[in-house]
Amino acid sequence: MTYSTALITGASRGIGAATATALAGSGIQLIGVHYRRDQRAAEDTATRLRSLGATPILIQADLAEGEPAAAAIAKAWNQALAAHGYSGTDVFVSNAGINGAQSLAELDPETYARVQAVNLTAPLFLLHHLADSLNDGGRIVAVSTGYTRIAAPTHLAYTASKAGLEGALRAVAPELAQRGITVNCVAPGVIDTDLNADWINQAGAREGAGRLSAFGRIGTPEDVAEVITFLTSDRSRWITGQTIDTTGGSLL
Ligand code: NAD
């Protein structure tokens, strides 16, 4: 099975940009580069994709708007597919997300609602709006978090959103399997991206976070993108409804 089209949310930087680059390297031809507001970063991703022979399609939307944002992304992506002569979506990577670190004492309704909208509501409705355009044998991967396995009292709203996404994708996996479509999550540990920019460069923080991993370092966006690339290839055809730990063996 050859895959030609992929939509990736949050592909302007971090894990999403690394995934877009890896998928272009694996031969995907049309790549939807969704981003929130940093058009320059999205253009940088697009330039890398072009240099690898892929055609990037930039799609702007704020996932904090929930379902309407999801509908707008699906509409723009489906129009791009038709304009470039493709029949549908081969690969959908739901990557965009926000951290929203909050403990039980800190929990506030606004932050909670925003985290759920970006990390759970918008991704699930994007899958809903894309469902008809998914090609048989397609691949869906969502980026969850190792915190669905490892207790993180500092990240309550975040963990709830990602655990919800894992559960919803597991629930939909049998239905989509009837069309040969696989649905999986990856669950990264601490990765060197802007998501952690507020603390990772503080004295000793990087080393301390690295010690959580069995390999003694924090992960790179490419460490996760490689696993996503496998899960979006034909080689992963016998895996669905699963969450693949990509924490570098953190807190085993
Ligand atoms: P990042 O901050 O570099 O990238 C996040 C991406 O999501 C960006 O492209 C950003 O534009 C997009 N995004 C954020 N809010 C958005 C919104 N409201 N609307 C649309 N897009 C929005 O961080 P990253 O580490 O590359 O994060 C990618 C995914 O990996 C996220 O889902 C995150 O939860 C998950 N993750 C990251 C880590 C880590 O340590 N970095 C660990 C576990 C899971």
Residue 56, helix vs strand vs coil: strand
pLDDT digits (tens, 9 = 90+) for 86-134: 999 999 999 999 998 999 999 999 999 999 999 999 999 999 999 999 9
pLDDT over threshold 90, residue 158: yes
% of the chain surpassing 90 pLDDT: 99
Across the chain, how many H-helices and E-strands are there? 8, 7
Mean pLDDT over all residues of the chain? 98
The confidence score (pLDDT) of residue 100 equals 87
Q: What is the mean pLDDT of residues 223-229?
A: 98
Atom 10, ligand 1: which residue's CA is nearest?
Answer: 10
The confidence score (pLDDT) of residue 137 equals 98
pLDDT over threshold 90, residue 69: yes
Instruction: For residue 86, indicate whether it is catalytic.
Output: no
The confidence score (pLDDT) of residue 203 equals 96
| 3-state DSSP helix/strand/coil % of the chain, to nearest 5 | 45, 20, 35
CA distance 65 to 173: 26
Q: Please enumerate, as own/partner, the contacts of 176-179 that have beta carbons within 8 Å and a separation of 24 or more.
A: 176/131, 176/134, 176/140, 176/240, 177/240, 179/134, 179/136, 179/137, 179/138
CA distance 155 to 39: 29
CA distance 15 to 222: 7
Per-residue pLDDT band at 239 (split at 50, 70, 90): very high
Interval between CA 239 and ligand 1 midpoint (Å): 24
180: left (phi over 0), alpha (psi -120 to 50) or beta: left
Find out whether the beta carbon of 15 lies less than 6 Å from any atom of ligand 1: yes
Kindly report the pTM of this predicted structure: 0.99
The confidence score (pLDDT) of residue 85 equals 98
Crossing angle between the packed helical segments 221-231 and 14-25, to the nearest 10 degrees: 50
The confidence score (pLDDT) of residue 1 equals 86
Per-residue pLDDT band at 174 (split at 50, 70, 90): very high
CA distance 242 to 194: 27
Find out whether the beta carbon of 152 lies less than 6 Å from any atom of ligand 1: no
Atom 30, ligand 1: which residue's CA is nearest?
Answer: 143
pLDDT digits (tens, 9 = 90+) for 30-65: 999 999 999 999 999 999 999 999 999 999 999 999
